[in-house]
Structure 1
Amino acid sequence: MKRIRDKIEYYSLKVDNHWKILPVQRQRLLTKLFFGGYALLTLLVIVSVCKSTSQRNNEISINHIDGISKSPQTKDTIRADKINSLIKK
């Protein structure tokens, strides 16, 4: 775990040093581009949510779940069944 943390810290320091080396004008341009992309993505998500909730047939269908596995019971479930049967008596 310490190795992973060290690698992440090394990478973040490397990226931070690379950012500091860039000229201020380039930093401002990249910051504006990243913020513009984030704002556009946020706007698209809001529009998508508004569009999907404004439809008239916005209903949730509840159906039976198919495909329940028929796997054998484990020791824990057998023990729980025994405890439940004792409690019922």
Structure 2
Amino acid sequence: MKRIRDKIEYYVLEVDNRWRILPVKRQRLLTKLFFVGYALLTLLVIVSICISTSQRNNKISINHIDGISKKTQTKDTIQADKTNLLIKK
């Protein structure tokens, strides 16, 4: 575990040294580019959430989990289930 921590620490120090070697103008440019990318990604996620929640058929139904959804059963299987229930009683 100590070796992994040492490797990670070494990698972080190397990256920090490379960042400090860069000229200040280049650091500012890269910082601005990273911020713009982050802002665009955030904006895309917010727009995606707004689009998905504005749809009319977007409703949350909270039901007991039965294993097989009752909505996907056809009329024949529902009728067979009713018949089986009557036979069991």
Give the alignment of 1:44-63 within 5 angstroms.
44-60=44-60
The one-letter code of the counterpart of 2:33 is L
SS at match of 2:7: helix
What is the 5 A alignment of 1:64-83?
64-65=66-67
Q: Post-superposition shift, 1:64?
A: 4.0
TM-score, normalization by structure 1: 0.68
* Unaligned stretches of 5+ residues in structure 1: 67-89
Q: How many residues align?
A: 66
Normalising by structure 2, we get a TM-score of 0.68
1:65: Cα distance to partner? 2.7
- The aligned counterpart of 1:24 is 24
In the alignment, residue 47 of structure 2 is paired with which amino acid? V
* SS state at 2:58 partner: coil
Structure 2 residue ranges without an equivalent (≥5): 69-89
CA RMSD of aligned residues (A): 1.5
Partner deviation per Cα, 1:50-72 (whole Å, 9 max, x = no partner): 00000000023666436xxxxxx
Aligned residue in 1 for 2:8: 8
- 1:80 alignment partner in structure 2: none
